[in-house]
Amino acid sequence: MMTKSAVAFFTDRAMIPGLHAALLSMAKTNEELNADVFVFANGLTKNDTLLLQKTWSTGNSKRKLFVPQFKPTPLGNTLHGNSTVWGRLFLGELLPTHQKCVYLDCDLLVNASLQPLFDLLTDEVLIAADCWVDREWSLDKDLFVDAGMSLKEKGFNSGVLALNLELWRASGAFEHCLKIAERFAGRFASADQALLNVAFGDRVVGFGMKYNTPLLPYRAPPPAELGENFYHFVGSPKPWDLFGSTLHKSFGLWQSIYLQTAIAGSAWRYLSLQRIVKTSKQVLQAWIRGRKQA
C-alpha cells in the first residue's frame, strides 16, 4: 500500500501574515513533494481562505491547498491566547487516512525540502523534532523535574514535527497526551510544547537545527540571505506584529518572501488586540535587548 503523507499548519487570523510567507516559501522549495497540504483554520473568512490559496498557487500550482475549519480544544493553557497550537495533538484524528505528517508552525520560512523529515519516519519512529533546546533553561524546567526528566538532556521545540500518524493511532499516543494533561494540569508554561516534551521526550528522534533554525527578534546579525534551512521566528514580536518591522532583526529576511504573497502590504489588517496585549512583555524585553546590542 502506498504511504499517504501530509503537511499541516494550524492558524487563526493573527498568524495569517506569517502563514502566507511560510506557505509561499514551502511551495517554492517543495514543488515535487508528494504530500497533501492542509491549513486547519480557526475563525478565517472565505476571503482569507481564497487569499491563502492564491499565495499557495503562486508557488505551487500542481497541488491543491486544503483549508478546513477547525477549532481545537486546548488541553492546557493557550499561547498568547492562541488555542490553535494544540491542534497538532489531534492530527491522528484529523488525518485518518494519512500515515505520515510534517507539522509546521506559521512563523517559519521553509527553504529546504521536507522529504528528509518524512524519510525519518520508519515503522518504529513515532515523532521527530529538532532536539536542540536545553531543558535546563526551559520555562518548563520545574515541570520536567517533577515528571522525572533529566535536565542534562535536550528538549525540543514543537514548531517543526514529523509524526508517524499510523503509529500515533496504533500506540494510543493521543490518549497518553490526555493522561499527561490531567496529571500536570495548569503546569504547561509553553503550552502543548511542554506536554509533548513530557509525553515523548524519551521517544523523539532528533533532526538537528537545520530544520528548525531559531531567529530571535533581538539576535544579530541575521543571515544575509536564505540558506537551505527552516527558519523559525521564535519569541515576540513576530516580523508582522506591531513594532516587528523595527524591533525584529530579521524583518528584512521575512519581508523578502512576504512581499511576494497575495496579502503583501496588508499585514496590519490582521493585527490582534488580544495578541498585542498578551505579547507586550516580550516585545518590551526585545526592545531592551536590542538597545543593549546597538
Q: How many Å apart are CA 20 and CA 78, to the nearest integer?
A: 22
* Residue owning grid cell 518591522: 245
Look at residue 110 and give its three-state secondary structure: strand
Q: What is the per-residue DSSP string for 160-204?
A: EEEEEHHHHHHTTHHHHHHHHHHHTTT--TTTHHHHHHHHHTTT-
* Residue owning grid cell 512576504: 258
Domain architecture of the chain: domains with CATH = 5-293 (3.90.550.10)
Q: What pLDDT sits at residue 226?
A: 82
Q: What pLDDT sits at residue 165?
A: 98
- Whether residue 75 has pLDDT greater than 90: no
Q: What pLDDT sits at residue 287?
A: 61
Q: How many Å apart are CA 201 and CA 190, to the nearest integer?
A: 15
Q: How many Å apart are CA 238 and CA 243, to the nearest integer?
A: 9
Examine residue 116 and say whether the peptide bond preceding it is cis (omega within 30 degrees of 0).
no
Single-letter amino acid, residue 222: P
Q: How many Å apart are CA 16 and CA 59, to the nearest integer?
A: 17
Look at residue 213 and give its three-state secondary structure: strand
Residue 53: CB atoms within 10 Å: 17
- Whether residue 77 has pLDDT greater than 60: yes
Q: Strand (E) positions, the chain? A: 5-11, 36-41, 65-66, 100-104, 108-110, 127-129, 133-134, 154-155, 160-164, 205-206, 213-214, 230-232
Band of pLDDT at residue 99, cut at 50, 70 and 90: very high
- Whether residue 69 has pLDDT greater than 90: yes
Task: Count the residues in the chain.
Answer: 294
Q: How many Å apart are CA 235 and CA 157, to the nearest integer?
A: 12
Largest CA distance in the chain: 57
* Residue 104 β-bridge partners: 160
Percent of the chain with pLDDT over 70: 93
- The model's pTM: 0.93
Residue 186: CB atoms within 10 Å: 8
Indicate the average pLDDT of the chain: 90
DSSP 8-state assignment for residue 226 = -
